[in-house]
Amino acid sequence: MNAGLDFSDCFEELFQYDVISFDIFNTLLMRKVVEPSDIFIKLGQEMSQLEMLPEGIDPVHFSILRMEVEKSQKKSKNKDVSIYDIYRAFSDIFSFDIEKTVELELEMEKRNTYLNPILYDLIKKLHVEGKRIILITDMYFSQKQIEQLLDYAGMDLSLVEEIFVSSDWDVNKRDGRLFERVRDEKKLDVKRWIHIGDDFVADVLGSERAFIHPYRYNIFQKIPLAIKFEKNGFGGGIPSLYSLRLIMNERINVSDKKDNFWYKQGALIWGPVLTAYGEYVLSMAQKNAVSQIYFMMREGVLLRKVVNEAQKNRNTDFLLSYLYVSRSTTILARKKYFDRDVFDRIAMDQDMTVEMVFHVLRIQDFIGPYKKDRGKEILKMSGREMDELYRYLAREDIRVRIEDRIRYERNELFGYLRETIRLDSDFILCDIGWSGTHSQAIQSVLHEKMKKEPKAITYFVWANTQSVNRMMDGNGLITGLLKEWNSGGFSLSQYSRYLEMQFMDETGSVIGYDASNSYRPILKETGISSSQLEWFKDFQQGVLDFQNLFYQCKRDTEWNDFLEEDICKIVKRLFLSPTKEEAQNYFELEFEENLMDIGIQLANLPNEINKCKKMSPEVYLSCADGKEVSWPQGIVSLYNPAYHYIRSIEDDDFRRNYIMPIYNLCVELIKNNIKQVLVYGAGFAGQIFSELAAICEIDVVCFIDQDPYKWGLEFYNGETICSLKDAKNNKCKEVVIASFDWLDEMRQAIRNEMPDATIYQIR
């Protein structure tokens, strides 16, 4: 394990107890799905394939029935039930092989659960210290079935003294009786016993009712806004990595990285994407029997680190090396002759000026007719003007000069490739993506210079339609982990320069090769500030730390079953529904001269935000020009941090009916310039208000609740729960009633204790 990620010392207080009990599901065992009920959908899909479901019952319908039957059985029997009780009750709906179905569900759980590495590591350390470890869970599986799940996940069961399951004992944790049964069976001193679990009612209140010390460990309690946006509007990104990302988030929250935006962005957003990329590249290398992999600099810095870590995990021995190429060294070398395609490729850069075109072509002395009036102008000419410029450049004397330069750059590039790559065999090129200019130039030069050129296979993180359509000469190939044509029309090209910078280090860009010194790359010093380079180091460390966590948890081949559309959702969410924090930090990036974009300069932000305010976000997004404003969705987030979140729930009747009234309450508070509130009601509505208040930058001082068992405990986003009597001593006198019921009673209770309070409620 990476020592920098070992946060088990945060559990130091546990070592003072003799007995430490753990909840199992969502604590020690995590699922590879976004919602636990998704397991039942997967089960339904398998049963459907085995023709075990009757006609008219699809996997989703089966999932709903499975949950409802379990709920009704618990209610009718007034206790936790076994999995056999649940499926026997299905006989009133349709008949099937109960034993086979139980076996399938257990197998489905095995394939979709893994050990939480943080808590498993903690258990091993506690065991070494001689502590008694007990597992206690409210679950329909039996003790033997739970043991099978844990064993399959890779747990050493000898570390555990005993496992207690509610369905075996006819009592549960929620009312404290299962804890009491464990106490009596094991003759435990409750003063020397602490229980760790995620559920507020079962694990915290239940253990308190049995006078046992509770310790709440709940990775689902403080979900980052970015992942909430992703879950609501984009299906949770990669479902198999959803809980793993939340374990990573918990690690960050207890580390010195908790306020480090770029580290978190690397760990929680790009870590999953690039972990998948590392697996993808090595899988393709093995499939194509290619032994050498080259990473195109400068963006190749991070990609090489990721693939190197993947290689360590797989115990493979591919050659991994850097290839120093750049736009400067490949844009002319891509073709043998100067034609309209070469011109269009140069002119397509949205910040390219007429003067820069002449500079790229190394014909500055021919700029005469354009120097005075048009030299500094960005190429946003009419079609006629572009045709006129191309005809001028295609004049024979100018074209001869350009093609001399093309031959020179192709010879230089070949010299460098010959010195760097083993050209007697095929090789892989790795890059972020976009146009494929570098790959095309490399293959074109090899095709010209060699009798039998090797195949250059380029694997992008993101392959757009244009790069693949521009197939290389010879037998090269361009493809990618994520493909524009499979992502619902979403193109990352508009946002590309926000990404390229983060993958770099202090290495400068390549401007040529020194032929007198084995074609050593000549580097232009980077124009990035030292403070921004530190951001990128943090970002890259976050990516690698997530990847490290991924390999700690990997127990079977299913982790490799990344679906392209799932990974794509993470990237789409970032740019289509950014949080305010993401927009602020990405807009603050400094860009080198060759990556400058006039649409994202900080000086332009106030004007764009004001436009958004005047137009409304909907109108602004519909008419924003990608060339003028490179990231209109980011501007919207700066103006209204909750806009994308609210849009993400519009198609969900349940969430819309509950969330919109609470959001409207937040809007009312903002209009009244209320920045701090007390919240009455630590229930479901309180959770939603806590979530929306965080997005809307409203500070919840504390939650108020009538249940004395909750007093002093933490609520949804870490807020303290207190009594109304204690809350009245607070300086804040604005009270929000977070409830849809008992409003009159709550208002009266507040008035009795806090007559000077201003009360707001959901309408």
pTM greater than 0.75 (yes/no): yes
Beta carbons within 8 Å of 478's beta carbon, 6+ residues apart: 436, 439, 440, 458, 460, 463, 467, 468, 470, 471, 472
**pLDDT for position 166:** 92
Q: Residue 104 burial by CB count (10 A; 0-12/13-18/19+): exposed, middle or buried?
A: middle
**pLDDT for position 714:** 75
**pLDDT for position 6:** 46
**pLDDT for position 620:** 87
Whether residue 279 is predicted with pLDDT greater than 80 in this model: the reply is yes
Residue 373 vs residue 546, higher pLDDT: 546
Mean pLDDT, the chain, rounded, equals 84
**pLDDT for position 527:** 73
Residue 269 vs residue 602, higher pLDDT: 269
How far is residue 528's CA from residue 512's CA, in Å, rounded to a whole number? Answer: 20
For the chain, percent of residues with pLDDT exceeding 90: 30
**pLDDT for position 465:** 67
Residue 96 vs residue 262, higher pLDDT: 262
Span 461-472, mean pLDDT? 65
The DSSP symbol for 520 reads E
Whether residue 26 is predicted with pLDDT greater than 80 in this model: the reply is yes
Q: Which residue has the tokens 């253990």?
A: 207
Amino acid 518 reads S
DSSP SS3 for 139: coil
Whether residue 456 is predicted with pLDDT greater than 60 in this model: the reply is yes
Residue 139 banded pLDDT, cuts 50, 70, 90: very high
How far is residue 492's CA from residue 377's CA, in Å, rounded to a whole number? Answer: 27
Contacts 24+ apart (CB under 8 A), 484-490: 486/564, 486/565, 486/568, 487/565, 487/568, 487/572, 488/572, 490/568, 490/572, 490/576
Give per-residue pLDDT as tens, 79-90: 788 999 888 888
For the chain, percent of residues with pLDDT exceeding 70: 90
Span 499-514, mean pLDDT? 81
Residue 473 vs residue 730, higher pLDDT: 730
The C-alpha angle 45, 50, 56, rounded to 5 degrees, equals 60
Residue 509 vs residue 105, higher pLDDT: 105
Asked if 696 contacts 637 with a C-beta cutoff of 8 angstroms, the reply is no
Whether residue 593 is predicted with pLDDT greater than 60 in this model: the reply is no
Whether residue 178 is predicted with pLDDT greater than 90 in this model: the reply is yes
Span 460-477, mean pLDDT? 64
Span 183-211, mean pLDDT? 92
Dihedrals phi, psi of 482, to nearest 5 degrees: -110, 135
Sign of the CA dihedral 378, 384, 388, 394?
positive
Whether residue 307 is predicted with pLDDT greater than 90 in this model: the reply is yes
Span 174-203, mean pLDDT? 92
Dihedrals phi, psi of 170, to nearest 5 degrees: 60, 20
Give per-residue pLDDT as tens, 322-340: 999 888 888 888 888 888 8
Whether residue 271 is predicted with pLDDT greater than 80 in this model: the reply is yes
Burial 481-518 (b: 16+ CB within 10 A, else e): bbbbeebeebbbbbbbbbbbbbbbeebbbbebbeeeee
- DSSP strand pairing (132-137 vs 319-324): unpaired
**pLDDT for position 7:** 47
Residue 30 banded pLDDT, cuts 50, 70, 90: very high
Q: What is the largest CA-CA distance in the chain?
A: 98
Whether residue 175 is predicted with pLDDT greater than 70 in this model: the reply is yes
Residue 1 banded pLDDT, cuts 50, 70, 90: very low
Residue 253 banded pLDDT, cuts 50, 70, 90: confident
Give per-residue pLDDT as tens, 607-644: 888 888 888 888 888 887 655 677 889 889 998 888 88
Question: Dihedral through CA 436, CA 438, CA 444, CA 449, nearest 10?
Answer: -160
Sign of the CA dihedral 329, 334, 338, 344?
negative
Whether residue 5 is predicted with pLDDT greater than 50 in this model: the reply is no
